């Protein structure tokens, strides 16, 4: 993998299976053709056991399945995946491992989360949370935050085309590596986790950027992936901030324009930018051109 290459994966605007055009009326009562994203049920199996059915955008089912199982502590970091089978017609993905698995008791403890498209976690998801040590030497420069925001917000995306999506981006320094979208932010996180696992990608030197709220689930999954820095252009929940402090996660929200709020982990932040020099007019102009 080239160290300088950006956007190894990004939204596929040419995939017509992800959107559908509907006829509706605008504010003047005029008929218009509007692209909208699809919601597709994807059933995930781990070996012979059905785990969950998630409402998804419908792309990257292998990454989503692997990431979901990792973030639910059902797939272990040292597991060997022997095969991933995806049946597009049945919308089923089966992850097969060399290790025999049975999570019948674990699945009795389900918790509904605040995630869009109905997030689900299991009662013992916090078992390993306190034992994870995030890299304390990791740093993020404020200039990187402005650069990442500009690169992500000016990148063509399904959100700009059809809306109703959350985006998640894996970055190294100020370079976005992976950009994925989904109807639920938890799904987008899982796709990133799946990509990292399958590509044996190091986590300690990465930055996670999301367009969605910084909830407890977002914090938990970021920590489980071993990523020390989480950024969003949206805001925080109280439990998200509380868990970030418990885990030693750098949490930065409301990162829009010249502004940002650091809720935790300021020791990793390097203030190398005079906000007077930050100009976001080019970002806004590029966004408008993409939408139009």
Length of the chain counted residue by residue: 292
Q: How many domains does the structure of the chain reveal?
A: 2
- 52 within a domain of the structure (yes/no): yes
CATH number at residue 45: 3.10.20.10
Q: How far apart are the first and last CA of the chain?
A: 34
The reported pLDDT for the residue numbered 125 is 64
124-128, 163-167, 263-267, 278-282: which has the minimum mean pLDDT?
278-282
- 12 within a domain of the structure (yes/no): no
Q: Are residues 146 and 282 in the same domain?
A: yes
Q: Are residues 223 and 95 in the same domain?
A: no
Q: Is the CB of residue 74 less than 8 Å from the CB of residue 44? A: no
Q: Which of 88, 123, 158 is the last residue of a domain?
A: 123
Percent of the chain with pLDDT over 90: 70
Q: Are residues 199 and 280 in the same domain?
A: yes
> Which of 129 and 222 is assigned the larger pLDDT?
222
- Arithmetic mean of pLDDT, 118-130: 62
CATH number at residue 212: 3.40.140.10
Confidence class of residue 118 from pLDDT cuts 50, 70 and 90?
very low
- 158 within a domain of the structure (yes/no): yes
- Arithmetic mean of pLDDT, 119-126: 58
Mean pLDDT of the chain: 88
Q: Are residues 117 and 146 in the same domain?
A: no
- 31 within a domain of the structure (yes/no): no
The reported pLDDT for the residue numbered 108 is 65
Q: Are residues 147 and 285 in the same domain?
A: yes
Instruction: Compute how many other C-beta atoms are within 10 angstroms of the C-beta atom of residue 38.
Output: 15
Position 1 pLDDT exceeds 50: no
What domain range includes position 194? 140-291
- 25 within a domain of the structure (yes/no): no
Q: Are residues 165 and 213 in the same domain?
A: yes
Q: Are residues 181 and 83 in the same domain?
A: no
Percent of the chain with pLDDT over 70: 87
Q: Are residues 187 and 46 in the same domain?
A: no
Q: Which long-range contacts (CB under 8 A, 24 or more apart) does 165-169 make?
A: 165/37, 165/57, 166/116, 166/210, 166/211, 166/212, 167/11, 167/210, 167/211, 168/192, 168/208, 168/209, 168/210, 168/211, 168/212, 169/208, 169/209, 169/210
- Spatial separation of the C-alpha atoms in residues 107 and 125, rounded to whole Å: 11
The pLDDT tens digits for 170-221 are: 999 999 999 999 998 889 999 999 999 999 999 999 999 999 999 998 999 9
Whole-structure pTM value: 0.87
Q: Are residues 210 and 163 in the same domain?
A: yes
Q: Are residues 287 and 210 in the same domain?
A: yes
The reported pLDDT for the residue numbered 135 is 97
- 265 within a domain of the structure (yes/no): yes
């Amino acid at each position: 993998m080239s160290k300088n290459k950006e956007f190894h994966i990004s939204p596929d605007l040419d995939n017509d299976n992800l959107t559908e055009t509907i006829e509706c009326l605008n504010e003047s009562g005029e008929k218009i053709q509007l692209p909208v994203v699809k919601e597709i049920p994807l059933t995930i199996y781990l070996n012979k056991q059905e785990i969950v059915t998630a409402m998804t955008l419908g792309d990257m089912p292998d990454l989503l399945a692997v990431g979901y199982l990792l973030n639910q502590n059902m797939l272990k970091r040292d597991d060997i995946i022997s095969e991933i089978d995806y049946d597009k017609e049945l919308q089923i993905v089966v992850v097969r491992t060399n290790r025999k698995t049975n999570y019948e008791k674990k699945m009795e403890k389900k918790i509904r989360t605040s995630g869009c498209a109905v997030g689900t976690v299991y009662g013992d998801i916090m078992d390993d949370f306190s034992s994870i040590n995030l890299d304390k030497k990791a740093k993020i420069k404020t200039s990187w935050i402005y650069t990442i925001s500009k690169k992500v917000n000016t990148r063509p995306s399904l959100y700009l085309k059809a809306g109703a999506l959350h985006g998640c981006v894996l970055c190294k320094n100020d370079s976005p590596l992976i950009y994925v979208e989904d109807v639920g932010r938890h799904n987008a996180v899982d796709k990133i986790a799946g990509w990292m696992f399958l590509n044996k990608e190091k986590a300690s030197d990465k930055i996670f950027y999301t367009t969605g709220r910084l909830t407890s689930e977002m914090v938990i999954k970021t920590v489980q992936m071993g990523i020390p820095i989480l950024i969003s252009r949206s805001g925080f929940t109280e439990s998200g901030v509380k868990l970030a402090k418990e885990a030693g996660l750098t949490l930065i929200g409301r990162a829009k324009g010249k502004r940002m709020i650091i809720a935790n982990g300021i020791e990793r932040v390097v203030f190398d930018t005079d906000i007077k020099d930050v100009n976001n007019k080019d970002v806004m102009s590029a966004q408008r051109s993409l939408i139009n």
